[in-house]
């Protein structure tokens, strides 16, 4: 499914007219059977500075945005892997690769292998398919058009269907609010 997603970047051309500047996916990370994600855009400042030239998604190497920055990502999640231990191993490898600073507890990982926390404000919409948003105490089935706002708390994604799910969202740097006991 992932190969068909296209990123279209519009900005001023050399004459100052709005034009399509790019239509290619960039900064793609994937592991067959576990995840596919592309950073569509990123900034290192707020407000965003549209005078900065180039493909700003290429600067992003982490899960979270730069301080005072923003990330826009597409994330495709296939059906949950049948072996939870393998799923957790792959997810931990991704976390290590991207330098994720917040380690999940054994209790979190037992709830679902993808449980994690970021110190960001995330606005994520289910575009295709369906997926369960897993929190510390409940689960919510998300279908196309459903949007979740995650305010720096634990969460995970569980695809219990037979088809991949596509999520698209924006992560904003935020002042962290750590829950008691974390």
Work out how many domains the chain is built from and give that number: 1
Is residue 18 in some structural domain? no
Tell whether 182 is covered by a domain. no
**Mean pLDDT on 79-107:** 81
CB 116 within 8 A of CB 155: yes
Residue 149 lies in a domain: yes
Angle at 14 between CA 10 and CA 15, to 5 degrees: 100
- Name residue 73's beta-bridge partners: 39, 169
In which domain, by residue range, is 99 found?
26-173
Give pTM, 2 decimals. 0.87
CATH of the domain at 43: 2.60.120.10
pLDDT range class, residue 150, cuts 50, 70, 90: very high
**Within-domain flag for 131:** yes
| Residue range 18-57, pLDDT digits in tens | 999 999 888 888 888 888 989 999 999 999 999 999 999 9
- 3-class secondary-structure state, position 119: coil
d(CA 154, CA 136): 7
């Amino acid at each position: 499914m992932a190969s068909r997603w296209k990123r279209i970047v519009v900005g001023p051309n050399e004459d100052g007219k709005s034009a399509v500047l790019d239509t290619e996916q960039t900064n793609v990370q994937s592991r067959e059977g576990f995840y596919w994600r592309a950073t569509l855009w990123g900034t290192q400042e707020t407000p965003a500075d549209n005078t900065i030239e180039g493909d700003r998604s290429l600067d992003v190497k982490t899960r979270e945005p730069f301080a005072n920055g923003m990330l826009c990502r597409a994330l495709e999640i296939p059906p949950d892997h049948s072996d939870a231990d393998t799923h957790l191993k792959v997810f931990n490898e991704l976390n290590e690769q991207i330098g994720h600073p917040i380690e999940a507890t054994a209790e979190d990982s037992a709830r679902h292998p993808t449980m994690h926390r970021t110190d960001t404000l995330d606005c994520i919409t289910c575009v295709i398919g369906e997926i369960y948003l897993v929190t510390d105490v409940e689960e919510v089935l998300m279908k196309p058009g459903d949007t979740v706002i995650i305010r720096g708390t634990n969460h995970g994604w569980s695809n219990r269907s037979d088809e991949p799910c596509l999520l698209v969202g924006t992560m904003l740097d935020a002042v962290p609010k750590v829950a008691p006991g974390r």
